[in-house]
Amino acid sequence: MNKRQFLDPQRRHDLDIIADAVNPGDRVLDLGCGDGIFLRELKEKRKARVLGVEIDQDSIVRCIGNGVPVIQRDLNGDLGFFPDKSFDLAVLSHTLQETSRPDLLLRSIVRIGKRAAVSVINFGHWRCRTQVMFRGRMPRSTQMPFQWYDTPNIHFCTLRDFRELCARLNIKIVEERPIPGRFPRLTKLFPNAFATVCVFILEG
Amino acid sequence: MLYYTFGILNIRGDKIETEQNNKEVFITQPRDFRMDSPLPLDCGRELKEVNIRYETAGTLNADRSNAVLVTHALSGDAHVCGRHTPEDKKPGWWDEMIGPDRPVDTNKYFVICSNVIGGCSGSTGPQSIDPDTGKPYNMSFPVITVADMVRAQKRLVEHLGITKLLAVLGGSMGGMQVLQWAVDYPEAMECFIPIATASCFTPQNIAFDWVAREAIKADPNWNNGNYTPDASPDHGLAAARMLAHITYLSEESMGRKFGRALQNKSELDFAFNYDFAVESYLQYQGQRFVERFDANSYFYITRATDYFDVTAKTDGDLVKAFSQVKAAALVVAFSSDWLFPPEQSRKIVDALLQNGSEVSFCEIKSGYGHDAFLLEVDTLGRMIKDFLHYHQEGYCHE
């Protein structure tokens, strides 16, 4: 194991937190599952019954190569074919900001999953704020390396925005796990300014 | 001139190839399974003295857990891979997918493929002798269904001593058989792979079949099915095949392959012989087809596909039809397939998901139309290979 993993900005700490929310034998749905590595881990280490949803053909081929069942679907389309509460946990990790209607998708995932785990990239992070304020430029960071014109990320929000949306949709936030950048203590006090990412556990 | 040059290259190339290949030619042999009791059919009749022509490749392992049944499409046969003799020019119809070190690796799996009943490549069909009359059935052969084909295959699989197949896989009409297997014999497989198919035949599919059969009927040689080998309805059958062949391609693939190119001429003829490359190609496909296919079989097999509907016993309810399915599925469709559009596969996937089945689905981007299931070997092969690998591991752990 990498000793610097806690400080490693490349590491997906949100996935560690989400994995902790999975009980042995749970049915887990990962929307926007990429190559399925995360689901493979859940399958092997937590004995979860998993399913991925992905739109990219190469990712799907790799999922199957990882032994992870996956279906090709557009998350912006209708997900009505998933029965209500058919999964113990529905996961959206670093995906919400890429969808055309995050509100509709949130509503769907709390319907499909008994609980949902959503990791949200925080646009209210102090670095983002200072980039806009002092440089007058759209923020870019390791989480968001794209230029504003070619980014797949079309719906960014702050943690406060996200909480507000959940309240409006009558979605209960069961747990909030902000992931600190450099200042763990400040993150606890002011997550909306210091968390780079936050994992929300939701119930519909 | 250009053709001539290629000709020489070809001859040289072939020579070298044959010498090299002689050591490695993968030989498969057709075999026959004669049923010792009549086969009941959906139409209420039964078929006596049924023969099933089949081929196998690879070796069945000790616990009989590595058997893969491959089901063929409308014009296919039992010869799925390898060559019957080292001199054979063409290998089996899915040789790129199946064989030693191929995606369905016969070093690892025991592959079975049989000719469907009603066919004309060795299994009992309209050309066979009716034991009651001592004459060929012709059009007195009973109308069969996809479920009948599958029932016959089940007997073959049992005859080979296999209670649970690792997988059933096939494309197009083969895919229909795969779905029928999953519904009728849910315990008899670990996983199934329906490719470029649908849960029922659509009105558009039925319509194409109707026109194809009308073309055969219009051939005076057809004579209500009572034709002789030296006066068979070749024109009708070729027309039927040409029509069907168009449905296997896409506008894109035809555009790319032929464009508006003329065949061996530089100017239009202002007549009705073939001017265009695409016309010449269809003509060729039609002629090749009549050399290996029987017109009456074409009637029976297309009819079986017309009647195909896995929801027949559940009042059109696909979710209910799949309620007993136990096996994991890999459903594959192709983006430019307009004969069995991806939407049809999505319906299958949705219904399986609603039953809580394990299912994977990929719509492969391809410009080849329906034919893509035979041509997109790279992507399809990789998925099938990995899918089988993981499910064999699962099977062994049980």
Contact state of B361 with A71 under an 8 Å Cβ cutoff: yes
Q: Give the per-residue pLDDT at B4.
A: 34
A9-29 pLDDT, tens per residue?
Answer: 566 899 999 999 999 999 999
B312-333 pLDDT, tens per residue?
Answer: 999 999 999 999 999 999 999 9
A178: Cα within 13 Å, side-chain hemisphere: 26
Contact state of A64 with B354 under an 8 Å Cβ cutoff: no
Task: Name which of B354, B379, B389 is nearest A83 (Cβ-Cβ).
Answer: B354
ipTM confidence score:
0.91
**Highest CATH level, class, for B27-397:** alpha beta
- pLDDT-based confidence at residue B34 (cuts at 50, 70, 90): very high
- pLDDT-based confidence at residue B397 (cuts at 50, 70, 90): low
- Pick the catalytic residue: B128, B172, B253, B345? B172
Q: Where are the domains of chain B?
A: 27-397
Task: Name which of B350, B361, B387 is nearest A72 (Cβ-Cβ).
Answer: B361
Residues with Cβ < 8 Å from A161, sequence gap 6 or more? A123, A124
A32-90 pLDDT, tens per residue?
Answer: 999 999 999 999 999 999 999 999 999 999 999 999 999 999 999 999 999 999 999 99
- pLDDT-based confidence at residue B395 (cuts at 50, 70, 90): confident
Calculate the average pLDDT of chain B.
Answer: 93
Flag whether pLDDT at B336 surpasses 80. Answer: yes
* CA-closest candidate to residue B348, choices B203, B209, B195, B168: B195
DSSP B368: S
Q: Assess whether B172 carries a catalytic annotation.
A: yes
Q: Assess whether B370 carries a catalytic annotation.
A: yes
Bridge partners, B334 (sequence order): B364
Q: Which residues of chain A have a CB within 8 Å of the CB of B356? A: 86
State whether residue B343 sits within 8 Å of chain A by CB: no
Q: Give the per-residue pLDDT at B19.
A: 42
Domains recognised in chain A with CATH numbers: 12-123+154-203 (3.40.50.150)
Calculate the average pLDDT of chain A.
Answer: 93
Q: For residue B199, what are the CA distances in angstroms to A110, B136, B177, B308?
A: 30, 33, 10, 8
Mean pLDDT score, B120-134: 97
Instruction: Please report, rounded to a whole number, the percentage of residues in chain B having pLDDT higher than 70.
Output: 93
Question: Nearest residue of A to residue B319 by CA position?
Answer: A81
Contact state of A57 with B353 under an 8 Å Cβ cutoff: no
**Residue linked to tokens 């069961």:** A174
Flag whether pLDDT at B306 surpasses 90. Answer: yes
